[in-house]
Structure formats: C-alpha cells, structure tokens
Amino acid sequence: MSIRRALTRPALLLFQSALLMTPLLATAREVAAPAEQVDADGPYVFRTATGLEAAWVCKDHVIRRALSARDGGTVVAPECGYPHALTVLPPRTAEVARFPAAPRIVALSDIHGQYGLLVKLLRAHHVIDSDDRWSLGDATLVVAGDVFDRGPQVTEAFWLLYSLQQQATAAGGAVHFVLGNHETMVLYNDLRYVNPKYLRSAQLLGRSYPALYGPDSTLGQWLRTRPVLLRIGDTLFLHGGIAPENLDLVREMDATNAGYQAAVGLPKEQVKAAPDTARLFDGKTSPIWYRGYFDGRMDTAQVQTLLKQLDLARIVVGHTSMPHVSSFHGDRIIAIDSSIKNGENGELLFIENGTLSRGLLDGSRVPLAEGRIGESD
C-alpha cells in the first residue's frame, strides 16, 4: 500500500506540508558555536609597522612572536599547527593567469581543511617528498579552489600550498591556486561552514575569522592576488564553471580576474548588488558557483559549442563533488572534486601531453571515471 493511500486526509495534509518544509530546513544553516578548545592552529602572520608578527594557538594558549621583515623572505619556525618552517615573502602582485601548454599537469580541488589526506595523496604520487617538499620538478600543480571551511586543518593546507609554490618555482615548475566560492564566502564573512575550531582561534587572537585573512596578513594578501580563471595551453581551470552567457568573462580573463581580486573581502551585500561584480558572485551562474555541466542545463552539443567558441580542448572544474575524478561530455569537462572534504578518500587528475588519468590514494594510476549527469555526492 502506498504512503498516500495509507494516510487519512488530515494526516496527508500534514505529510505534504512536512515535505514542502524539508528543503527549507535542510538548507538552513547557522554559524556554529566556537569550539571549547583549540589544540593547535597557526601560524597567522601579519605585517606590522615594524615588521611581522606571527601568532599561534597552542593548547588554547596564544603565542606571539615579533619578526623582522626581510626582502628575501622571513623564516617562521613552527610552534604548533603547520609543522614545518616556512618562508614568508613580501607582499605579492597579481600573477599572470595564462600559460603555454605544460607537458605534465597535476590537479585537485576542494581540500576543505583535510590537510592530512592532502599530504597523503600528494606523497603517494611523489608530488611532495616525505618532508612535504616539492618533488615534481618542472611539472605544474593546480588546485581549483576551496581550501576553506568544513575540515580541521585549513591553516596547514594553505601554508603547504604557499610553500610549495616557492619550491616549485625554484625547481622550474609551478603551483597555481584559483579561488573557490568558499574563499570568497569566508572573506566576505559568510561563516556558516567554518569549522568551530577556527571561531575559537579568532576569539583568542582578538580578531574576526575573516580578519585573520585580512589584507595585512600574509595569507590574506596572497589570496587577494589569486586568479579565478587559469588557462594552461588549451585547458581552462576554475572552480565552478563557465555558463554560456559568461563567455566574455573568459575572453577578457585578465579583467575578470582583476575584478575578483578587487572585490575579495568586500561585504557580501555590496559585491552581489554592484553592477560590475554581481554576476561574478551570482550563486547559480558565476564562475565560482556554476554546476550546469552536471545538472542537465547543458548537453554535450552545447558544451562542445562553448569550447569551440573559447578555443579550448577541455574545462577542468571542482565545486561539484563526485566519488571520483570524472570525465563528462566526452572528456570536454573534467570534474576534479573527488570528495576530499569527507576526509576518507581523494584523487588527482593527471594531464600528460594531452593524456588524461587519475591518481588514487594508494599511488596507482587508472583511467578517468565516466561521469553521469545528475550523479554527484
């Protein structure tokens, strides 16, 4: 007997009302209460009138250290949190986001504070060595956004990428990080997905959580110079995707990236209302939010037309969680959010002279999974 037939009319009305309310309840999310204690977090590095200040939260106790700012970089020794010494560079300018084809590219996305899993995955494929230093020579690593939120080791993940970028450059390689929607959310004070640990850290350090990544902080300034659109040869990397109505954002990539960089950290209401930034932050169609390749809004013919108009072979995106690194629309769209955020598994995308494969957590390499429209975690 069906549920509908089994219910009386009054009960059926209540059941239907509950169904109507469920999406609202499921999507409503409040900012979490701060954790009771922080075992290890940091460093947060700030530029001051006299140099630099590094701050950690170790066993719920704040440690601060004044440092001299050196033009060649200032070494920060670890206290707790990120386990390695790191070199803090002077403020950077925005980087070029167009590069010629690279013979070997490794990509992943949506780390969401799962630093331990990130390290395990990168070590398994010799992107980093046992000391977590770059070991991929002149290859390129691309991270397609969303280090912030959910997991408990956001700070460590950011510092690892920051450090690997320096090491890769010295080895003739490259590390690129493009902004995701969670970077923009945190920096405009949408804290619904922030791990409670970090709200406690912010309390102890006497700043709001977004202010820990303010323009006066090393990581905050670094994030404000990251692109949203990155083109390497005939491959476009970004977090969400390009909607058909936004082709001009790719054709005018430098201006688009500059628009995002100028707007990062401005109030949410301002960037969503201002005519020059509204579509950059639109929750359905913007490059950091779009999911139209996977939810049926675009079929394969439309994707093929879009790529032809942009002179691209493929678009690589994160944001839409999959069980595996997956191919859609005949290898034209590659989905690389392999659900690392769950803290259980993760995969890498390899593009080697145009050949695509995925790297598993055990270090093995296999073909891309075949994605199906409507299938996501």
- What is the predicted pLDDT for the residue at 29? 86
Cα-flanking dihedrals φ and ψ of residue 14, to 5°?
A: -65, -40
The tokens for 103 are 């013979």
Looking at residue 42, its pLDDT comes to 98
pLDDT of residue 376: 66
pLDDT means per 10 residues, the chain with 377 residues, are 38 38 53 97 97 98 96 96 97 91 97 98 98 98 98 98 98 98 98 98 98 98 98 98 98 97 96 95 97 96 98 98 97 98 98 97 98 77
Closest CA to 371 of 343, 330, 340, 339: 330
CA distance 153 to 42: 10
User: Tokens at residue 187, please?
Assistant: 């920096």
What pLDDT is attached to residue 18? 40
Query: How many C-beta neighbours within 10 Å does residue 316 have?
Result: 24
Q: What residue ranges define each of the domains in the chain, with the CATH number in brackets?
A: 40-88 (no CATH), 98-370 (3.60.21.10)
What pLDDT, on the 0 to 100 scale, is given for residue 362? 98
Is the separation of the CB atoms in 146 and 182 below 8 Å? yes
Lookup result for tokens 């990236």: 257
Residue with tokens 């995707």: 241
